[in-house]
Amino acid sequence: MTEEILFQIKALYRDDFRIRGYRFGNGEDSVCIMGSMRGNEYQQIYACALMIDKLKRLEEKGRISKNRSVLVIPCANPYSVNTKKRFWTVDNTDINRMFPGYSLGETTQRIAGGIFDEIKKYKYGVQFASFYMPGYFVPHIRMMKTGRENIELAKQFGLPYVVLHHPRPFDTATLNYNWQIWNTDAFSIYTTSTGNIDKKSAEQACDAILNFMSKQEIISFRSYEGYISRVVESKDFITIRAEKAGFFESCVSAGGKVTKDNLLAVIKDPYTLRVHQEIYSPQSGIVAFVHNETLAYQNTAVIKLIEDEDML
């Protein structure tokens, strides 16, 4: 394992901004694994640290294939982590909306550009991603529908779901989208949490990546078949919204099974605790996403379901 400074910006009044990468093996740029881009993505940093530990042990045993190289970048935004801000500390911009970057642009454009210059050459790209809304997700692989997505490759991770996402205009400035445009097979992995560490789902995600790399003959690893992944379009998720603002009490967990008319959540008046809304499942399915903050605001998506009419 070698530790490298991939990108650096000189600072006037504090320590320099540095993005560190951890490289395993030698030769062809095979896989790049990207972690946190936002200051609250602690789970994503932890998952990368776990990945580094596993790859280090594989390398020590000589199980990185000859002429193969793997790069892990745990964090692309350490300043925001240090100041407990989700986005860039100065202007509140999102690095993952600045790709492919611009070396003469604003700070976050230069950071994205510096990162992308280093990683756009990789054959496979995997990002530990987080959702734009606070909540818990069922672990899954997500891909942008650019016309270059490879569904069969995504299934080789062995996670329960492969979610295909139709890019909106602002999605065209994300890492996943631009990786695909620059001919990298790109995948976003969503684990259960973001701001809290969930060791079980982080372990599942790391093992899925090792499973994938084994099938591509990048590492020697006793892979497992995992799940037969179900392919789902993000537009087909059943989204349930809060009718009124209030305290949010979930009755289900991400990944859980529900049948029609199951109680999913309750929203209460924050002053009187009077029940504003009882949320019932409109049909049978799998809970894909659950809001996880104390308050839910009116018209906020608090539950997302994956339809499953054959579930008993």
Q: For position 13, what pLDDT does the model report?
A: 72
Res 131: pLDDT? 86
Domain 2-233 has CATH 3.40.630.10: yes
Interatomic CA distance for residues 108 and 173, integer angstroms? 12
Instruction: Indicate if the pLDDT at residue 110 is higher than 70.
Output: yes
CA-nearest of 187, 172, 207, 219 to 30 is: 219
**How far, in Å, CA of 197 to CA of 80, rounded?**
18
The reported pLDDT for the residue numbered 308 is: 80
What is the per-residue pLDDT for 311?
53
Higher pLDDT, 23 or 13: 23
22-61 tens-digit pLDDT: 999 999 999 999 999 999 999 999 999 999 999 999 999 9
Q: At what angle do helices 42-60 and 199-215 cross, to 10 degrees?
A: 50
The closest of 115, 174, 114, 111 to 146, measured between CA atoms, is 174
pLDDT tens, position by position, 235-248: 999 999 999 999 99
| pLDDT band at residue 14 under the 50/70/90 scheme | confident
Mean pLDDT value of segment 104-130: 96
- Is pLDDT of 222 > 70? yes
| 295 CB neighbour count, 10 Å cutoff | 13
Question: What integer best gives the mean pLDDT of the chain?
Answer: 94
Radius of gyration (C-alpha) of the chain in whole angstroms:
20
Put residue 82 in one of left, alpha, beta given phi > 0 → left and psi -120 to 50 → alpha.
Answer: alpha
Domain ranges of the chain: 2-233, 237-307
Asked whether residue 312 carries a pLDDT value surpassing 60, the answer given is no
Residue 2: its pLDDT value, please? 96
> Is the pLDDT at 224 greater than 80, yes or no?
no
Q: Do domains 2-233 and 237-307 have the same CATH topology?
A: no
Distance CA 239, CA 129 (A): 20
Asked whether the predicted pLDDT for residue 97 surpasses 60, the reply is yes
Separation in Å, CA 46 to CA 51, 69, 204, 231: 9, 21, 13, 27
Q: What is the pTM of this model?
A: 0.93
Q: pLDDT tens-digit profile of 156-193?
A: 999 999 999 999 998 999 999 999 999 999 999 999 99
Q: Which CATH number among 3.30.390.10, 1.10.287.470, 2.40.50.100, 1.10.760.10 corresponds to the domain 237-307? A: 2.40.50.100
Average pLDDT over residues 281-291: 95
pLDDT of residue 310: 58
H/E run at residue 82: helix 78-83
The DSSP code sequence of 24-79 is: EESSEEEEEEEEE-STT-HHHHHHHHHHHHHHHHHHHTT-BPTTEEEEEEEES-HH
Whole-number pLDDT of residue 90: 86
Percent of the chain whose pLDDT exceeds 70: 98
